Amino acid sequence: MKQMATKNDSSVSEFILMGLTDQPELQLPLFFLFLLNHTVIVVGNLSLMSLIILNSNLHTPMYFFLFNLSFIDFCYSFVFTPKMLMSFVSEKNIIPFTGCMTQLFFFCFFAHSESWVLTVMAYDRYVAICKPLLYKAIMLPRICCLLMFVSYLIGFASAMVLAGLMIRLNFCNNNIINHYMCDIFPVLRISCSNTYLNELVSTAVVGTAIILCSLIIFISYAMILFNIIHMSSGKGWSKALGTCGSHIITVSFFYGSGLLAYVKPSSAETVGQGKFFSVFYTFLVPMLNPLIYSLRNKDVKVAVKKTIKRITS
């Protein structure tokens, strides 16, 4: 009976998310700010996906990958935004243990999937610029579908490993997560179990993904740059840089903010910085992606005009 009581005392059925800030005067302005952000993410990504579906000139490998990127960003925002909005208007933002683990799983799934989709997009640009005559032969519909399937599969496998290891941990008296969502390291900090294995595997899984994706993207763009340098026409230069520009901006935002949030000393002083930088890749990147790809892309601009004309006529 004594052992059973100890086991019950050490189990946690729910967590309290501290949110982005504890300053009362900022709660309401931040609520409306992030509500607006969520609306822009949903409308922007849904609009981009609809444009790609409705316009046959966008039925190419590049826009197929962009469709998947928008789909991930659209789903991604629903993983943590509702709970974050609740933290601004409720006294205690409580999330059940199962809800926390579910949120962590989908966060890892979509984050890892997005990193691999961005990597595939870099490879697609490499083939389009460096091997234009073979582009249609290489980027066949079944190859594109296979590349996306593998991206989602890697994301699913990574999320299963990370969430599975988290479920095995015990949580004692401390159930307050110093974050606006159930992220890996903030949850690990409050566990009363030995988290060495979790930290080791998390670092290995995330580190491997970052290194492999960054390496493929870097090699792709190094080959593209080498090819651009040897182009004789200025028009070729302009077209190549224009094609890659949007992707480079997206990759810079995604990986830059992710590195700033996680690659830092683990101390109390940096927890707030981690939350601040995580806002960039969880809220800013999904909002900017449709804007970057629409404002800098002639094909999308033409598709918008055609769709508006079709609706109004």
Encode pLDDT of 243-290 as tens digits. Answer: 677 788 888 888 887 777 766 545 555 566 677 778 888 888 899 888
Tell me the CA distances in angstroms from 287 to 35, 77, 79, 260, one per residue in order: 12, 9, 15, 19
Average pLDDT across the chain, whole number: 85
Tell me, what's the pLDDT at 127?
93
pLDDT-flagged residues of the chain (< 70): 1-11, 231-243, 262-273, 295-296
Give 93's strand partners.
17
Closest C-alpha among 118, 126, 240, 266 to residue 184 = 266
Report the alpha-carbon distance of residue 74 to residue 84 in Å, rounded: 16
- Listed by start position, the domains of the chain span 18-304
Tell me, what's the pLDDT at 264?
55
Tell me, what's the pLDDT at 173?
79
pTM (predicted TM-score): 0.89
Tell me, what's the pLDDT at 159?
96
b/e per residue 229-258 (b: at least 16 CB within 10 A): eeeeeeeeeeebeebbebbbebbebbbebb
Tell me, what's the pLDDT at 166?
94
Tokens of 89: 């208007």
Tell me, what's the pLDDT at 160?
97
> What one-letter code names the amino acid at 51?
L
Class of domain 18-304: mainly alpha
Tell me, what's the pLDDT at 61?
94
Give 177's strand partners.
17
Q: Find the length of the chain.
A: 313
